Amino acid sequence: MAEAGTGFLEQLKSCIVWSWTYLWTLWFFIMLFLVYILRVPLKINDNLTTVSMFLNTLTPKFYVALTGTSSLISGLILIFEWWYFRKYGTSFIEQVSVSHLRPLLGGVDNSAPNAANAANVDADSSRQSVSECKVWRNPLNLFRGAEYNRYTWVTGREPLTYYDMNLSAQDHQTFFTCDTDHMRPADAIMQKAWRERNPQARISAAHEALELNECATAYILLAEEEATTIVEAEKLFKQALKAGEGCYRRSQQLQHHGAQYEAQHRRDTNVLVYIKRRLAMCARKLGRTREAVKMMRDLMKEFPLLSMFNIHENLLEALLELQAYADVQAVLAKYDDISLPKSATICYTAALLKARAVSDKFSPEAASRRGLSTAEMNAVEAIHRAVEFNPHVPKYLLEMKSLILPPEHILKRGDSEAIAYAFFHLQHWKRVEGALNLLHCTWEGTFRMIPYPLEKGHLFYPYPICTETADRELLPSFHEVSVYPKKELPFFILFTAGLCSFTAMLALLTHQFPELMGVFAKAFLSTLFAPLNFVMEKVESILPSSLWHQLTRI
């Protein structure tokens, strides 16, 4: 019995909420109609006449004072709203509406973060010590000759900036050279080649080095910049692998004979890892994905300490192509750790796996009626986590912004990282049914959860303010750099500012031109009430005169 009574009350409440939501306009017109019918017994006409006589006796000074007072009050409200927004990041009027009025109308706000989660977040954020704007080598960077240069031939645009290529030159000098290069003529030539700005000069130097000796770094340069197809690049990398393995074995035997030999062995190790990694990427690009996965796994087992190359991100992308989601989860379990620097690949891949479990049956309408299930809540939280780490990715995944070729270097949490991730992973999101729909429905809710000011952060350390400047250096000029979605001014602040300005202008005009403003006010009011008068005239003409007379006498 009690359940039946509770169900009836819930139905009654839902009916009231529905009527208030959709029929308030009808209620308004019904009330106007009743007021018009009862204008005689209520003496509305007499009251209006009295009011109009009173208004006609008022001087322009009264209207100046009235509009000035309205401008002052709206200005004070504007100042208070602006102060509240600067301190708390939201409008006071909106806060009151959402907190007190919305529950009365049947709305539920599920976006409030859990206090326990917030405590865990503070503990996790305190352990984050990653440099704000450190530039990282793109783990999935393309080949200059076979991909970047082909884009230039077709479009006439340069996909790489000078700053990006200069960073690559510094990386090559760090990884592929050492102090003992002067002892080997071919390596001495390549040491100068990596510092050359002119691509043709670098290629010529590589050929010159190969005439002297089988030089692994010379093959690397030719594979990266001279080869016009991936097949040609793979052939050159196989030649580089043969030469690099020989140098690695020789230096491995001498590495403990002194610091000089240790540096040479470190250089040869970097060269060998780079070659094997690029060979795996060639296999992936040529469709031999399983072979690429095996090569990456072997490389990670053979050199587990070289995490600077982020080979696991190449492995994640290849496993997603194979739809080996269990293997992807195993890799994430190893690398999605709080002590390791995060990346968009890790965060968004984790979100994709959780979205995959619910996205095929997810419906925003059904979720709003019944609420989110546990699995759906986990997926939404994973999406919020990913979006907070890099808020630029969703617009590329949802194709709200056009993609370009990714740069050779990326900035964590920046637009460059978002481009690099979406360029390779958009196909994987499209392959999971409903994943993009779930992302579309939930990603913007992240910004309501992030505390204000933005320096506090929520799940990660605060979003760096320098990413926009660094991304403009990394990305080509024809690309519109995406900036952090800043909190927009609430509607009531903009409304109050407009109202304050409008009433102040009316006060000034009424003070300067009282007669003209009086004529304007009368014309405005007559125009405003003209539709209502027209409707009432039509109603009087349609209804029978006897019925209308009886209604007016009620």
Q: How far is CA 151 from the centre of its chain?
A: 27
**C-alpha dist (Å) from residue 232 to 134, 225, 477:** 33, 11, 31
Residue 439: pLDDT over 80: yes
Average pLDDT, the chain: 77
CB neighbours of residue 145 within 10 Å: 23
291 burial level (CB within 10 Å; 0-12, 13-18, 19+): middle
Is the separation of the CB atoms in 168 and 409 below 8 Å? yes
Map residue 166 onto helix, strand or coil. helix
What percent of the chain has a predicted confidence (pLDDT) above 70? 72
pLDDT at 493: 66
Residue 298: pLDDT over 50: yes
pLDDT digits (tens, 9 = 90+) for 491-523: 666 667 777 777 777 777 777 777 777 777 777
d(CA 187, CA 170): 16
3-state helix, strand, coil in the chain (%, to 5): 75, 0, 25
Encoded tokens for 128:
């984050």
Q: Residue 422: enclosing H or E segment and its boundaries?
A: helix 415-431
pLDDT digits (tens, 9 = 90+) for 534-543: 777 776 677 6
Name the residue ranges covered by the structural domains of the chain. Answer: 15-52, 157-323, 342-488, 491-537
Helices (H) then strands (E): counts for the chain? 28, 2
The DSSP symbol for 257 reads G
pLDDT digits (tens, 9 = 90+) for 445-469: 877 777 654 555 666 777 777 788 8
- Alpha helices by DSSP H, 141-258: 149-155, 162-176, 185-193, 199-212, 216-225, 230-254
Residue 106: pLDDT over 60: no
pLDDT at 349: 92
Long-range contact pairs involving 13-21 (C-beta distance under 8 Å, separation at least 24): 13/106, 14/106, 17/105, 17/106, 20/105, 21/105
Residue 46: pLDDT over 80: no
Q: Is 62 left (phi over 0), alpha (psi -120 to 50) or beta?
A: alpha
Q: Name the CATH topology of 157-323.
A: 1.25.40
Question: Binning pLDDT at 50, 70 and 90, where does residue 12 land?
Answer: low
Residue 14: pLDDT over 50: yes
**C-alpha dist (Å) from residue 25 to 21, 22, 30, 108, 137:** 9, 8, 9, 24, 59
The answer to whether the bond into 453 is cis (omega within 30° of 0) is yes
Residue where the block lists tokens 């645009």 = 157
Report residue 232: phi and psi, to 5°.
-65, -40
User: Cβ neighbours of residue 535 under 8 Å, at least 6 residues apart?
Assistant: none
pLDDT digits (tens, 9 = 90+) for 255-272: 667 777 788 888 888 889
